[in-house]
Amino acid sequence: MSCGNPHETDCRTVLETVYSYLDGEIDHEMRHRIAHHLTECAPCLSQFEIEELVKALVRRSCTATTCSGEIKERIMASIQAARTGVQTSTAEGLTS
Ligand SMILES: [Zn+2]
């Protein structure tokens, strides 16, 4: 996984650090070096984007799992409120 061009930071180093980068477990300087490398190295960038995509998907599904109950409750509450509103207005429409 290399574009053949020499870089300040080695491609292998960048790819080995990608996971740490995505987890935010590396220091500011290393983060900057990787970000800089990704701007000039297309193969590493595409690799990085895949990893980031996977990470984002995992994060999203985890959030959905932990919040599903709360979200369901909120949705049910809003449905209930909407139903009540509809019933009220319908009743008013019928009586007037
Ligand atoms: Zn590279």
The pLDDT tens digits for 18-72 are: 878 777 788 889 888 988 898 899 999 888 888 887 777 777 766 655 556 665 6
pLDDT at 13 over 70: yes
pLDDT of residue 72: 62
Residue 2 contacts residue 37 (beta carbons within 8 Å): no
Cα–Cα distance measured from residue 62 to residue 44, given in angstroms and rounded to the nearest whole number: 27
pLDDT of residue 86: 59
Has residue 69 been placed in a domain? Answer: yes
* Ligand 1 center to 16 CA (angstroms): 11
Has residue 62 been placed in a domain? Answer: yes
* Ligand 1 center to 11 CA (angstroms): 4
* Ligand 1 center to 22 CA (angstroms): 16
- The 3-class SS string of 22-41 reads HHCCCCHHHHHHHHHHHHHC
- The highest-confidence range among 6-15, 52-61, 76-85, by mean pLDDT, is 6-15
pTM above 0.85, yes or no: no
Residue 43 contacts residue 15 (beta carbons within 8 Å): no
Has residue 90 been placed in a domain? Answer: yes
Q: Identify the domain containing residue 79 by its residue range.
A: 11-95
pLDDT of residue 3: 63
Please identify which residue in the block is written with the tokens 């369901």: 72
Has residue 75 been placed in a domain? Answer: yes
Has residue 22 been placed in a domain? Answer: yes
Has residue 79 been placed in a domain? Answer: yes
State how many domains the chain has. 1
pLDDT of residue 41: 92
Please identify which residue in the block is written with the tokens 């790819």: 15
Cα–Cα distance measured from residue 75 to residue 94, given in angstroms and rounded to the nearest whole number: 28
* 49 residue type, one letter: E
Has residue 80 been placed in a domain? Answer: yes
Has residue 29 been placed in a domain? Answer: yes
